[in-house]
């Protein structure tokens, strides 16, 4: 993959990270891109690319996200056109040599300026010394100077060089700060990668829990369907054996039951034939009225004709 711009040597085999962008699908915008390439020969825009060096930073939609490691590739804003034709060839060695030459030039200018100021100051001091009046120290009226409290004046430029930083030193400070910031960015990228891995693991665990829950839910639904089918089949078979009230007793296990006349007559018949068999069936959970109720019903007279459609209840025992 090579950049389609004339005189641009960018290709995907370089060590430095360089993104390449396809020509847009819009024909008018694609023509603008092709004109910018300044190619003498006609080329196929569909299979050509332009590298990121010909676009401004503002043309990249996710530039900050990509630099921080949150995006996998750079994305151009919609409708942008490349504007930077001459790309500066980055050569670290040449750049470093040019910086050193500039630093040496600045230091030489400072030294020349310092020498010129020093030479101009010497004649002035000699002229001042000639105009000074001589003082007769033998005269007692003239006060002597106390040299113990005299203040020494700096005669060198050492304090100046101690406080003044050359451009080379400023560049070194900036490079140190830049390295520190790059280290911080690298640490943040490591933390971001770690968090991304943790998020990926959490998503995988959540997906596994969802699949497990879905499988268990389907299994329970299948078990419920099977139980419903078995229940319906058993009820269909028990209808031929038990009455509706007896089936209700088996389902709900009600303590207070309104037995129908047919159920009462059936219970009386079984108890009359054999009370032992009746007690055995009742103790085994067979849906029958209690023994004391059956005894009470046996002591009662037969129900009237208008009570045939009604049920024997506990109120009849009173």
pLDDT at position 235 is: 77
pLDDT at 217: 92
What six digits make up the tokens of 226? 């099977």
Predicted pLDDT of residue 223: 92
Report CA-CA distances (Å) from 89 to 54, 82, 210, 260.
12, 18, 54, 105
Residue with tokens 């919609």: 78
Share of the chain above pLDDT 70, in %: 73
Cα-based distances in Å from 265 to 19, 72, 174, 223: 96, 86, 109, 40
pTM: 0.30
Indicate the burial class of 281 (C-beta count within 10 angstroms; 0-12, 13-18, 19 or more).
middle
3-state secondary structure 225-244: HHHHHHHHHHHHHHCCCCCH
| Polymer length in residues for the chain | 318
Give the whole-angstrom CA distance, residue 124 versus residue 120. 7
SS3 290: coil
Q: Which residues of the chain have a pLDDT value below 50?
A: 124, 131-135, 137, 140, 142, 144-145, 147-158, 160-162, 304-318
Under 8 Å between Cβ of 277 and 298: no
Average pLDDT for the chain: 76
Sign of CA dihedral 172, 173, 179, 182: negative
């Amino acid at each position: 993959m090579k950049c389609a711009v004339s005189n641009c040597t960018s290709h995907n085999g370089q060590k430095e990270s360089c993104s390449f962008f396809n020509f847009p699908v819009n024909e008018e915008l694609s023509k603008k891109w092709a004109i910018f390439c300044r190619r003498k020969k006609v080329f196929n825009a569909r299979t050509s690319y332009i590298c990121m060096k010909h676009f401004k930073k503002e043309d990249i939609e996710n530039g900050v996200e990509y630099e921080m490691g949150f995006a996998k590739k750079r994305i151009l804003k919609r409708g942008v056109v490349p504007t930077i034709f001459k790309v500066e060839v980055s050569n670290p060695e040449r750049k470093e040599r040019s910086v050193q030459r500039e630093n040496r030039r600045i230091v030489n200018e400072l030294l020349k300026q310092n020498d010129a100021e020093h030479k101009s100051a010497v004649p002035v001091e000699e002229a001042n010394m000639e105009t000074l009046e001589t003082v007769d120290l033998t005269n007692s009226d003239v006060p002597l100077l106390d040299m113990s409290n005299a203040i020494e004046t700096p005669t060198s430029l050492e304090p100046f060089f101690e406080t003044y930083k050359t451009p080379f030193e400023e560049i070194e400070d900036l490079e140190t700060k830049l390295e520190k910031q790059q280290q911080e960015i690298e640490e943040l990228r490591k933390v971001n990668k770690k968090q991304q891995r943790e998020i990926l693991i959490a998503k995988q665990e959540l997906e596994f829990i969802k699949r497990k829950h879905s499988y268990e839910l389907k299994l329970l639904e299948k078990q419920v369907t099977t139980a419903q089918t078995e229940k319906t089949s058993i009820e269909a078979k028990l209808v031929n054996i038990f009455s509706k009230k007896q089936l209700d007793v088996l389902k709900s296990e009600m303590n207070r039951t309104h037995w129908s006349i047919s159920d009462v007559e059936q219970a009386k018949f079984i108890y009359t034939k054999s009370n032992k068999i009746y007690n055995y069936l009742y103790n085994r959970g067979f849906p029958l009225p209690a023994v004391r109720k059956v005894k009470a019903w046996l002591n009662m007279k037969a129900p009237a004709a208008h009570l045939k459609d009604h049920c024997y209840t506990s109120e009849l025992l009173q």
